[in-house]
Each structure stands twice: as C-alpha cells, then as structure tokens.
Amino acid sequence: MFSLFHRGPARLTPQQAHRQSGDGQAVLLDVREPPKWRAGHPSGALHLPLSRLRTGRALPRAAQGGPVITICRSGNRSRQAVGILAARGVEATDAAGGMTARTRAGLPVTGDRGHSGGTA
C-alpha cells in the first residue's frame, strides 16, 4: 500500500506524493515558512515550518500516527524534515523537487485565501 516508505530514504515524485496524500495513504506536510505557505501550498496539505519542527514542535494532530510526506520549495528543507521526523519514529519521506516540481507537473496549488496560488 505505501511501499516506498519501507525502502528507506526513497523520494516520491510530485505525482506520487499528490496521489498518496489525496487517497489518504499519507499526510502531506508543507515545511516552508509562513510567507511561502501563504503564497501557495499544495491543496489539502498541513503546515508546520521546519524552524518549528526543529524546536520540537509536535506534528499537527491530523499528521500524527501515520505516514507523512514533506514538501518545501525545492526539496532541501523537506529532506531535513524527513530526518527529524524519522528520529522521532515517524514514517516519512519527501516530494522530490518540492513545490517547484509540483507546479511544473500542473498539480493543484492553493493560495492564502483559497485562490489558485504560486510557489514562492
């Protein structure tokens, strides 16, 4: 069902991350800072900036107890988030290429007020 999580640090394509978060196999967690989140984030994603995750902030309730897919702008911070989450015992992977790749793939992005957003 969620086989890529069992192979170690494999990254998901934007399409795989969208599909797996959309069908409930995992929660998509955007780890960018608030201004970037407000500019545009994956539809249906939860938000927890990497800076807060590093300080020990708990995952949003909806992300607890199941697999998590992290995403940022390009993939660097989301990869760091995977390491932090794995150290906490969370089953996690990230979306390769981040929001940049997601936008190029034509996947839905929502802005601050529910409108179609960008990828700042």
Catalytic-role residue among 27, 50, 72, 101: 72
Task: Look up 72 and say whether it is catalytic.
Answer: yes
**Residues 103, 100: Cα–Cα separation, whole Å:** 5
Residue 93, CA distances (Å) to 35, 66, 90 in order:
24, 12, 10
Phi-psi group of 60: left, alpha or beta (phi > 0 → left; psi -120 to 50 → alpha; rest → beta)? beta
**5: number of Cβ within 10 Å:** 18
Catalytic residue IDs: 72
